[in-house]
Amino acid sequence: MMESKDNEGGKEKKSSAEVDIQKSDVERLEKKIRDASLPLQVERKALIEIQRLKLISPASTEYGLIHDYIDWLLSLPWAQSCAEEIDVEKLEKVLDKEFFGQKKMKERIYEYFSIRRLKKDIKGSILCFVGPSGTGKTALARSIALALGRKFVSLNVAGISTSQQIKGERLGFSGGSPGAIIKNLREAGCNNPLFLLERINKLGNGVPKGEVISALLEALDPEHNASFIDNYLGLTFDLSTVFFIATAQNIDEIPDALMEIFEIIEFTGFIEEEKLQIARRYLVPTQIKRHGLTEGEVKITDEAIKKIIREYTIEEGLRELQKEIETICRKCARMKASGSGDFWRITEENLSDYIGTPVYIPEIAEKKPEVGVACGLAWTASGGDIMLIEGLRMRGSGQIFSTGQLGGIIRESIQTAHSYVRSKAQLLGISYQDFTNYDIHIHFPSEAIPKDGPSAGMTICLVIASVMSEKPIQNDLAMSGEVSLRGNILPVGGIKEKLSAARRVGIKKIILPKANQRNLPDLPEELISELEFIWVDRMEEVFEKALIGFGKQKKIFEVIKREVEKAGRKKKKRKKS
């Protein structure tokens, strides 16, 4: 491992006191090694290092390095295991008590552990929890460890940029140390803990090197991790009994090589109703107790919690909501400590006295039908929101403008919608000359927020049709859907979040692609019970439901069309005769 420093004939001179200290120290270490029941290869390696210690002065740097190395060998849980009990019923009770909602995710967890219970020696994929921050990924891993009776350790891999941080640095004159995997196993004190790798999508600060991914695969891959070698130890350590779980915020950022060994379980963001229930059942009672208060002293009304969710936080998870509740409890705790009161009721009206003025102004639906204004539904990083899309026509040369910090996909949706409306000019009662005599401006308010994706296509198409035909749009409905060049309505994602946003602002009628009917069974009953759904396949159906006056125009168009077809048939007959 290292070569000894020579001094005067190859050996360092030692005083009698040094010899006695060294002999006592070496004998103590040797006894610990023989009593530790180490694996054979580890014991042999440790005894070889003991023989080297006998030849080196205790005052030398190398003596300390070898001593530390032996201490590491003795402190690792080579054969110490936690007694595991895979009790699916207990796991169900723990998760149902600790986690509200996330039904689909829970079912997937129960299935996974039911299989492990039936076949304990199975070598399967590693679980990877994917979802927004604050949705309970880390908390779930802790609860699983508790339910299984395993120790829990975690490692945030976001800052790991070299393989040495995972596999350790070789022992040399400059020192060295084990990698993060081995260090955490020593902390756990057993060789089969639940090991959580957090933010795996940010490995190497989001741009991982091949060597880093390769090193992590050596530790994680169930086919190879029984012989994991840490560079510092120079020995194999069996990681096959470690229960690894990874977390990520974005599935698209996970390296492909790791995706091959991961079994993805998705965590969805919480809608307002779920946040309210979680705050009422868990967050508020927990923070009240943590701040030395009682539930009889602090009361936060449901309306106050809703206002916090809508006007003080923008998130899919619960972290910001929890921080605001903590702020309220700190204020109350301070007043209690100073004797300023013994009961505090936080309502929608006095909320600003505790956490300041609102940070965000939520979008609100239009109060009356207007030409060129439609309510779209959007999925955002903070959940769902309504998106008012505005349109205006003006004298010009047939150009179309768009503003509102838009991405490339949404700009293409505007072009597609514009072309489709032009192709249906006669059906909509629009003069063909208008498309060359007028410019159209499409605007998305809240310009500071980037917007992209195809799901606004239906709403954009409706707005263009409205401004060019000068027909108002119903203000009591919202919509989401992609539109093809031929006017077909295609399915979109984020339905749960989008419906929650519509319900929040009081819109009950929702236009959605017919293909999205398959999403209904997965949605909370309390969310969909109050809504009226209009399922559509074609853009003409959207015009009929949302464009005021289109029905009358369509009848006129159909009468003219029939008369034209009738005249055409008569003309053909005259030619034949």
Residue 361 placed within a domain: no
Answer yes or no: do 98 and 200 share one domain.
yes
CATH number, domain with residue 210: 3.40.50.300
Q: What is the pLDDT of residues 334-345, one digit of tens each?
A: 999 998 888 999
Quote the crossing angle between the two packed helices 103-118 and 88-98, to the nearest 10°: 160
CATH number, domain with residue 315: 1.10.8.60
- pLDDT score at 490: 95
Residue 302 placed within a domain: yes
Answer yes or no: do 97 and 231 share one domain.
yes
HSE-up (13 A, CA, CB side) for residue 66: 27
- pLDDT score at 183: 93
Answer yes or no: do 262 and 277 share one domain.
no
Average predicted confidence (pLDDT) for the chain: 85
Answer yes or no: do 311 and 444 share one domain.
no
- pLDDT score at 446: 79
Residue 126 placed within a domain: yes
DSSP 8-class letter at 270: P
Rounded Cα distance, 289 and 218, in Å: 44
Rounded Cα distance, 230 and 180, in Å: 10
Q: Compute, in degrees rounded to 10, the torsion defined by CA atoms 462, 466, 471, 475.
A: 50
Residue 568 placed within a domain: no
Rounded Cα distance, 524 and 275, in Å: 13
Rounded Cα distance, 153 and 244, in Å: 10
Answer yes or no: do 130 and 196 share one domain.
yes
Asked whether the beta carbons of 513 and 524 are under 8 A apart, the reply is: no
- pLDDT score at 577: 61
Answer yes or no: do 131 and 234 share one domain.
yes
Of these residues, 57, 455, 466, 469, which one is catalytic? 455
- pLDDT score at 464: 96
- pLDDT score at 346: 94
Answer yes or no: do 383 and 491 share one domain.
yes
Could you say which of 266, 292, 317 is where a domain stops?
Answer: 266
Rounded Cα distance, 189 and 235, in Å: 18
CATH number, domain with residue 441: 3.30.230.10
Residue 83 placed within a domain: no
| Known catalytic membership, residue 455 | yes
Q: Can you read off the two tokens belonging to residue 164?
A: 């040495």
Nearest to 382 by CA among 271, 457, 284, 307: 271
β-sheet bridge partners, residue 246: 128, 197
Asked whether the beta carbons of 30 and 38 are under 8 A apart, the reply is: no
Residue 486 placed within a domain: yes
Of these residues, 57, 471, 498, 500, which one is catalytic? 498
Burial label, 350 (beta-carbon count in 10 A; 0-12, 13-18, 19+): exposed
- pLDDT score at 251: 86
Rounded Cα distance, 212 and 204, in Å: 8
Q: What is the pLDDT of residues 430-479, one digit of tens each?
A: 998 999 999 999 999 877 778 888 999 999 999 999 999 999 999 989 99
Q: Which phi-psi region, left, alpha or beta, contains residue 372 (left: φ > 0; alpha: ψ -120 to 50)?
A: left
**Average pLDDT of span 540-564:** 81
Rounded Cα distance, 351 and 335, in Å: 16
Rounded Cα distance, 185 and 194, in Å: 10
**Average pLDDT of span 188-213:** 84
Most distant CA pair in the chain: distance in Å? 133
Residue 506 has pLDDT above 50, yes or no: yes
Answer yes or no: do 437 and 501 share one domain.
yes
Q: Between the ranges 65-69, 117-121, 415-419, where is the mean pLDDT highest?
A: 415-419
Rounded Cα distance, 192 and 240, in Å: 8
Rounded Cα distance, 168 and 191, in Å: 18
Give the CA radius of gyration of the chain: 34
Residue 290 placed within a domain: yes
DSSP 8-class letter at 5: P
Burial label, 30 (beta-carbon count in 10 A; 0-12, 13-18, 19+): middle
Could you say which of 52, 75, 98 is where a domain stops?
Answer: 75
Specify the amino acid at residue 186.
R
Residue 32 has pLDDT above 70, yes or no: yes
Q: Compute, in degrees rounded to 10, the torsion defined by CA atoms 371, 376, 382, 383.
A: 140
- pLDDT score at 1: 45
SS3 84: coil
- pLDDT score at 119: 73
Tell me how crowded residue 427 is: count the other CB atoms within 10 A of its CB: 19
Answer yes or no: do 146 and 176 share one domain.
yes
Rounded Cα distance, 143 and 147, in Å: 6
- pLDDT score at 329: 94
Answer yes or no: do 205 and 345 share one domain.
no
Q: What is the pLDDT of residues 256-315, one digit of tens each?
A: 888 988 988 888 878 888 889 899 988 999 999 999 999 899 999 999 999 999 889 888
Residue 2 has pLDDT above 50, yes or no: no
Residue 570 placed within a domain: no
Q: What is the pLDDT of residues 151-182, one digit of tens each?
A: 999 999 888 888 888 998 888 756 688 999 99
**Average pLDDT of span 361-381:** 83
Rounded Cα distance, 347 and 344, in Å: 10
What is the count of structural domains for the chain? 4
Answer yes or no: do 213 and 280 share one domain.
no
Answer yes or no: do 469 and 534 share one domain.
yes
Least confident of 89-103, 237-251, 489-503: 89-103
Could you say which of 231, 266, 301 is where a domain stops?
Answer: 266
Asked whether the beta carbons of 374 and 445 are under 8 A apart, the reply is: no
> 348: domain range?
272-355
Residue 77 has pLDDT above 50, yes or no: yes
